[in-house]
Amino acid sequence: MYKLDTIISLAKRRGFVFRSSEIYGGLNGCWDYGPLGVELLRNIKEAWWKSMTYRDDIEGLDAAILMHPKTWEASGHTSQFSDPMIDNKSSKGRYRADNLIEEHIERLRRKKKTNLADEIEKSLSEVDELSDYFDIIMKYEIKDPVSGSTDWTEVRNFNLMFKTFVGPVEDTGNAVYLRPETAQGIFVNFKNVLETGRQKVPFGIAQIGKAFRNEINTKNFLFRTREFEQMEMQYFVKPGQEQKWFDYWKEQRWNWFVEYGMKPENLKWKQHDKLAHYANMAVDIEYKFPFGWGEIEGIHSRTDFDLSRHFEYSGKKMEYVDTVNKERYIPYVVETSGGVSRSLMAFLCNAYDEEVVTDDKGKSETRTVLRFHPRLAPVTVAVFPLVNKDGMPETAHKIYKGLQKEYKTAYDKGGAIGRRYRRQDEVGTPFCVTIDGQSLEDETVTIRERDSMAQQRIAIDSISTYISGKLK
Ligand code: GAP
């Protein structure tokens, strides 16, 4: 397992991720995706979009970020979308009370104080009211992780929605929220999509888009941020059939991560002990990050909670009329809800590798390689002239321009060929094409694969077919 700092440093150095507004010192919980990061992000979204919507029973949607404020009353976000917050009076540190306790439990486990860790974990799972968090923190003398102080305030609820105003007047009547999840845009469009898509239950609606949460603590790079993207799909089913579809979507989503190269030993299921107010079944797919296991996607059976509430709050019938069986009902919903940036971070950690390689002359060095699935890799192919003379740059450039029409392609003419391979390995480019003296004589090139480092000669006019074959 490599350190998170090593991966963050590569991500910064090679233009995957930068701190937001870095020249002003950055903005906590916000990140910018650089030239390679944005390609990786788009490839993840594209892979998800194709697997979810290139099928008969799922339609796509792109709803507005700002929604009618009643949406959030109906969904329960106005009253319930909050985290328990606690402040330390001496250090002025502000924490999520549940995270503070969880981190204390983790520390105890590292020190092999298993019984005490189990005891506190049990109390945490039985928390009923805000004051229960406070009681646990005081009873077990949990300290401020920075200052060591135990001088805590009461635990208060902190609503995570960002508020803003529509129009020039900052009046409570004009208040709207930046959506904290994309799901509600799907629920309020249930009827529109059902009718225009001429769908029948069971069917789904998929959406990728930004979500915003004013998290109390942002941490671990892209893991918990205040602005992020979600890839969500709500699958509308007949009540009573939710178990079947819950199992189906669990399998689909796990397989999707594995298909795109996630090592199964880095993934695990986490059962929810406590269910959200809208759910009757919920599991998470967790990834083994360098800092520990963390959720990357949730699969939730949300019953008819959301559609019923929108029916109640809007007065618009959120029913499905089954004309064949002559029945009408409010569908149940099975949701798959993944974070794009969390998935990106998981794919980045999963791909990162260092290995010692020895060249023909017996010289060893460590190569850093991102072993991305070829369809996720930010750059698909790199083209190099072996030397910058004898007509090689001209041929290489022509090949580069041709490949660029189909694939994200890099051109690199700088330095020894070994250095150029290493530069591409470090950003995960799966194929490197080198134009040498022989290329000018017989119209062939060498193509080198990133993981095996094996090279073979192929005809210039078959490069594209070779790559597309590998991408399939
Ligand atoms: N509609 C259900 C829903 O939003 P969630 O578990 O709150 O469920 C779903 O969020 C996914 O969104 C998570 O699995 C995670 O990947 C991502 N996510 C949630 N909060 C996030 C944050 N603060 N930063 C980055 N990703 C986040």
Query: What CATH architecture does domain 82-158 belong to?
Result: 2-Layer Sandwich (3.30)
Instruction: Using a cut of 0.85, tell me whether the model's pTM lies above it.
Output: yes
What mean pLDDT do residues 210-224 have? 94
| Beta carbon of 225 within 6 Å of any ligand 1 atom | yes
- Residue identified by tokens 């190269």 is 261
| Beta carbon of 305 within 6 Å of any ligand 1 atom | no
Tens-digit pLDDT profile for residues 276-312 = 888 899 999 999 999 999 999 999 999 999 999 999 9
Tens-digit pLDDT profile for residues 166-213 = 988 887 778 899 999 999 999 999 999 999 999 999 999 999 999 999
Comparing C-alpha atoms, which of 357, 449, 463, 348 is closest to residue 402? 463
Measured in angstroms, how far is the CA atom of residue 263 from the centroid of ligand 1? 22
Q: Kindly give the number of the ligand 1 atom that is closest to the alpha carbon of 213.
A: 23
Q: Helices in 301-454 by DSSP H: which ranges?
A: 305-314, 340-351, 392-404, 417-427, 437-442
| Beta carbon of 232 within 6 Å of any ligand 1 atom | yes
Structure tokens given for 327: 């029945």
Do residues 341 and 335 make contact, with C-beta atoms less than 8 angstroms apart? Answer: no
Measured in angstroms, how far is the CA atom of residue 301 from the centroid of ligand 1? 16
Query: What CATH architecture does domain 379-471 belong to?
Result: 3-Layer(aba) Sandwich (3.40)
How far are the Cα atoms of 12, 123, 137, 171, 344 from residue 132, in angstroms, in the given order? Answer: 41, 9, 9, 36, 36
- The CATH code belonging to domain 4-67+160-347 is 3.30.930.10
Hey, whose CA ends up nearest to atom 12 of ligand 1?
339
Comparing C-alpha atoms, which of 250, 212, 215 is closest to residue 339? 212
- Residue identified by tokens 């609606």 is 205
Tens-digit pLDDT profile for residues 45-81 = 999 999 999 999 999 999 999 999 999 999 999 999 9
Domain extents for the chain? Answer: 4-67+160-347, 82-158, 379-471
